[in-house]
Amino acid sequence: MTTTSVLVTGATGFIGSAVVALLGKNPSTRVVPCFRAATPGRPLSDERYFDLMAPSLLPPLEDIHVIVHSAARVHVMNETSVDPLTAFRHANVDATLALARHARDSGVKRFIYISSIKVNGEATLPGQAFHADDSPGPRDAYGQSKCEAEAGLKLIAEAGGIEIVIIRPPLVYGPGVKANFRSMLRWVRAGIPLPLGAIRNRRSLVYLGNLVDLVCRCINHPRAANQVFLVSDAVPISTSVLIEMIASAMGTSPRLIPVPVWILQLGAMMLRKQAIMQRLAESLEVDIEKNRLLLEWAPPVRTIDGLKATVRHFMSQI
């Protein structure tokens, strides 16, 4: 049996740790987790180190067939950097391209890059979902850095010697999710009235297990080479339906108040929270038909089941 050696960067992160866990169940795959720094008590065998802040310190890759690069400087709602674009470029562009060039020179066959739907843009109009081959339209520093990294990776692939696969997820949820999604879980559990009952948008989300399943499909699939894929659950849902589904998974009733969207938008403008309101009220829908056509892939987990798993983990941590 041929063994594929896969190095995963960001191996302790939300996405990277899930990739490591799923690949570890495959007897034909040798998983090599890649961390930012050594941690006392963690086994030192078969692991490597790569720091986004010091991209010149590159791990040995001569025995690696595929890299899944999930490490990144992530988007946050309250950016503290004086020059966020420069900070994002250093971590998400310079480090990514340094690793990809090193991979090519070391004989790595394929480089899978976890990008972001923010490369496409921030919102979609009704009936006009984002597609994998649309022209980029990033609107913030994080999206711009991901877009620039993708462009650099495509140039590396065009020069030959390595295959590039780019995957752009929207909001990823699952056991252990943090940030705004975890806040929403807390609000629903606490029974806080939420003025979101009138929102009828269409937002594509992706359950962590679905994203990781696609990543694993792309490791060896010949038709994934040098392609861009969007990923999501099977059906987009509105913010209000999302809250209803979370409440159902918790065995409670949602406390949704149908406040007109224009009033919410006005309040968000006054409080300078337009970015949060955009994510709650506007649509962001992705088309994943390309995944079915090229890879014969569809998300294996339904949104309701993904939310139940997310809620179970959340409740177990309280």
Q: Which among 49, 113, 142, 207 is annotated as catalytic?
A: 142
Which residues lie below 8 Å from residue 108, measured CB to CB, with a gap of 6+?
A: 61, 64, 65, 66, 67, 162
Helices and strands, number each (H, E), in the chain: 11, 9
What DSSP string runs through 39-76?
-TTS--TT-EE--TT-TTSPPP-TT-SEEEE-------
CA distances from residue 53 to 10, 37, 47, 201 in whole angstroms, order as listed: 13, 11, 19, 38
Distance CA 81, CA 208 (A): 28
Catalytic annotation on 49?
no
Of 171, 154, 176, nearest to 163 (Cα)? 154
Which residues lie below 8 Å from residue 86, measured CB to CB, with a gap of 6+?
A: none
Check: CB of residue 220 under 8 Å from CB of residue 259.
no
Enzyme catalytic residues: 142
